[in-house]
Amino acid sequence: MSDAKLKFVVRIRNHMKTKFDHDKYRVVKFYDAQNCEYRLVTNLTECSDEEVAEIYSKRCQIELLWKFLKMHLRRYLRKKD
C-alpha cells in the first residue's frame, strides 16, 4: 500500500511479533471503553495517536453498520420473493 502512496490504518493482533521500518510506519496503541488493548499500524504522519484511534473506531462502526444492513436487508428481500 505504501508503494502505491495509499494511506492506511490497520489493526495488528496483540500477540503478533512484528518489525516495522519506523521511518515509514508507526504503531499506535490505545484502549477501548472495555479496557481492551488495540495496536494499529499506520503511515499517517500528520495525525496524532488519538486521531488514528478515532479513524479506526469510525471504520469499525461503518463495518458494523454494513453487517447490520446486510443481515436485515437479506431477510427483507427473502420475504418479498
C-alpha–C-alpha distance, residues 30 and 46, integer Å: 18
DSSP labels for 46-58? Answer: SS-HHHHHHHHHH
Cα 25 from chain centre = 15
Sheet of 9-12: strand order equals: 9-12, 37-42, 26-31
pTM for this entry? 0.70
Q: Give domain status of residue 68, yes or no.
A: yes
Q: Give domain status of residue 2, yes or no.
A: no
pLDDT in tens, 2-61: 677 889 998 888 777 777 787 889 999 988 889 988 899 999 989 999 999 999 989 989
How many domains are contained in the chain?
1
Q: Give domain status of residue 1, yes or no.
A: no
By residue range, what is the domain housing residue 64? 9-80
Neighbours of 71 (CB within 10 A): 10
Q: Give domain status of residue 35, yes or no.
A: yes
Q: Give domain status of residue 20, yes or no.
A: yes
Q: Give domain status of residue 52, yes or no.
A: yes
In the prediction, which pLDDT does 52 show? 93
